[in-house]
Amino acid sequence: MTVTSKAWIVGAMITAAALSGCATKGYVRDQVGMVDQKVDAQGQHLDAVDRTSHEALDRAKAAGKLAEGKFLYSMVLSDDSVKFPVNRANLSPEAQARLTDFVNKLKADNRNVYVEIQGHTDASGTPDFNHKLGADRAEAVRLFMNQQGVALNRLSTISYGETAPVAPNNTPEGRAQNRRVVVIVLA
């Protein structure tokens, strides 16, 4: 290879390298513009998420203030006439009558109250099953009270399953007492 052809090849390689590494101002402006659009879109998304999280926090604070309220009174659905049958969440006619009286008292008091409905079970069954059954019992009471005119935003449910017995679980009578719903009214 001659020196001239070597020089020409080296020159061509340098020119190709220089041209491949250079960008025009228009190309750079277009690329920066696309990146700016993506950043703006992400900023708008983050603003929306921030607003949503602040709204959720405000709702949680309001619920917390309600939950911090003082105890007014409670009712337990567990005496002989309204105990829940084994593995059931159905409300007996007697339970419905007691709940109707309870709801009428709430309405007559005409106070801004918060009602916590706690579902409980006996210890027969698995903990997961009992937790779900307790939730189903509390939900049955919540829906019945709503049908009687108590606003859903005033009612909350929680299941304790088998974890908070009021009697020993080693006798049929004790297990029957543990199958219950407790309704607590807070101001």
Highest mean pLDDT among 16-20, 67-71, 94-98: 94-98
Beta-carbon contacts of residue 159 (< 8 Å; ≥ 6 apart): 118, 119, 120, 131, 132, 133, 134, 135, 137, 138
Which CATH code fits 70-186? 3.30.1330.60
Instruction: Return the pLDDT at 129.
Output: 95
Instruction: Return the pLDDT at 61.
Output: 60
List the chain domain ranges.
3-65, 70-186
Contact between 125 and 87 under an 8 Å Cβ cutoff? The reply is: yes
User: Rounded to whole angstroms, how far apart are CA atoms 98 and 105?
Assistant: 11
74-99 pLDDT per residue, tens: 778 765 556 667 788 888 888 899 89
